[in-house]
Structure 1
Amino acid sequence: MTARRGVLASLMVAIVLAGCSTPGPGEAPDGIWDPQEGTNRRIHDFNRRVDERLLKDNGTGLSDGLPQGTKLAVAGFADTAGTPQTIVNQLLQLRLWRATKNTLRFALNTTVGLTVMDPASEWGLVEDTSDFGETLAVWGLPEGAYVELPLLGPSTERDATGRVVDLFTNPISYIVPAPERYLGPAANIADKLISRSEYSDTVESVLYDSADSYAQMRLIYLQNRRFELGETAPEAEEIDPMALDTSGF
């Protein structure tokens, strides 16, 4: 009962927070609303230093150091463990056919696939993820201001709220006892680290070679996220290094 109340309370908080910050007319003429840019840039600088110390120049070391089968198993387990959360969100979005397909995908991958393989994709049930940030978008709540989160990186007020709620919406966390319930989140983190290593050249070119890595990351995130949600993406534009806003540093 306490767990259910926690989920309901989180949903209510999400609804309130996601609607609390909306750009007014003329405040975001370029499609990017970033009223806390100074704070965001400081967090971005922190994230960049963490990446530089822990991950930069490792190249594809982590990715190349693991057998392909291991990487596929990590990705497969992370996907399987996260599928029930996707199903919950798709039900909340009233996307019943997608939720049904993901239920079948979960059933196949946890039985035939032993939770680490992906036979469902061979049956045409390809990976289809969702989160509570998307649920809020479907419900019509605005994305709010752009924010950069410590360690987690680019987000928006709506998606940041969704991340908090997603901590409570995976049914597995209420069914599987500890410590086994933490294997899914651990696999998800490992999968992200492997992906960071596999795409190190691209990531590092943005973080360390661009004139303004903050602006570039912000644009890339908003373009990709709005494309995923079917929303209007901001226009790409050339960055003038002489016109950068460095106040607050």
Structure 2
Amino acid sequence: MVNFSTAPKVLRNFTVCVLVAGLAACGSAARVQPTGINDPHEQSNRKVHALNKQVAGSGKGGGLAKAVPSEFQTVIHNVAENMAMPQVAVNSFLQGDVTGFGLATSRFAINTVLGFAGVVDAASAFKVPEHDTDFGETLYVWGVGEGPYYELPIIGPSTRRDVAGRIVDLFTNPLSYTLESPEKYVGTVTGLADRVFTKSRRSDVIADAVDGSTDSYAQARLNYLQKRRFELSQPTGTMRPDAD
């Protein structure tokens, strides 16, 4: 059930997030894409990397993804993506990306109404392109610098800008404020499950690319920075590669 009584809370939290990020943007050069590696926390990052390798090792071979029917994984992915579309629309709006805002809004409307609340990806059947973005990209568009590299427990490689983006994204989905419990948690739960399935399916490929190198930490760091910088260099309103 939709709860519109929380609208003031939505506006308050959203305004705080925008003001904080906007202040950070004021002191940064616009859209400067670094080419080197800024890793002043390498010692602590390597410890986290070793922990992440141990955790990933337990799922090597894509065990979880192979144990769960692909049809179920598809449903989880569809619902997670649909529940994330309002957040994508908000970030597209903040980036001045009219095309992306329209795509996210259209996909959410079509999949919610014709796709049985997102269970079926009806929007793709209507040739509506997929679109994805996050507050980390919003900060990039606003001119916030990449900052130092971090490796986070479980989540993995990131940068200071993307860490801040992940935190703000916890508050930028309007559905988090307009839906009652337990519906408000569907997006979070399915999103987490979708990430787990995705990482499980890619475990062998990632292991071969990273563990096969002489320095798996340096290889993982390079892979992430190159991929993320390439994603951010693409024009807004276009489909980026999956960031997971």
> TM-score by structure 1 length?
0.82
For 2:206 and 2:22, the matched residues in 1 are separated by 33
Identity of aligned residues (%): 43
CA contact (8 A) 2:39 2:148 kept: yes
Q: What SS does the aligned partner of 1:117 have?
A: coil
The counterpart of 1:49, out of the listed 54, 63, 79, is 54
The correspondence for 1:166, drawn from 147, 169, 180, is 169
| Counterpart-to-counterpart distance in 1, 2:224 and 2:146 | 13
Helix, strand or coil at the partner of 1:110:
helix
Post-superposition offset of 1:68: 2.4
Q: Does the 8 Å CA contact 1:18/1:157 hold for their aligned counterparts?
A: no
Mapped pair 1:152 → 2:155: yes
Query: Offset at 1:16?
Result: 5.1
1:114-151 superposed Cα distances (whole Å, 9 cap, x missing partner)? 11111211222122101000001111111111111122
Q: Which residue of 2 aligns with 1:5?
A: 12
Q: Distance in 1 between matches of 2:155 and 2:47?
A: 14
Q: 1:74 aligns with which of 48, 73, 76?
A: 76
Q: Does 1:223 align with 2:226?
A: yes
Give 1:44-123 correspondences, 5 Å limit. 44-53=49-58, 55-56=59-60, 59-114=61-116, 115-123=118-126
Unaligned stretches of 5+ in structure 1? 23-27, 232-249
The answer to whether the Cα contact below 8 Å between 2:22 and 2:142 also exists between their aligned partners in 1 is no
Rg larger in 1 or in 2? 1
CA contact (8 A) 1:47 1:150 kept: yes
Q: Give me the whole-angstrom Cα distance separating, in 2, the residues matched to 1:3 and 1:48.
A: 38
Instruction: Give the one of 20, 28, 34 matched to 2:39.
Output: 34
Q: Give the 3-state SS of the residue equivalent to 1:126 in structure 2.
A: coil
Which 10-residue stretch deviates more, 198-207 or 174-183? Answer: 198-207
Partner SS, residue 127 of structure 1: coil
Shift of 1:15: 4.4
Query: How many pairs are equivalent?
Result: 222
Determine if contact 2:24/2:144 at 8 Å carries over to the other structure. no
What is the CA distance between 1:17 and its match in structure 2?
5.8
Consecutive unaligned residues in structure 2, runs of 5 or more: 1-7, 235-244
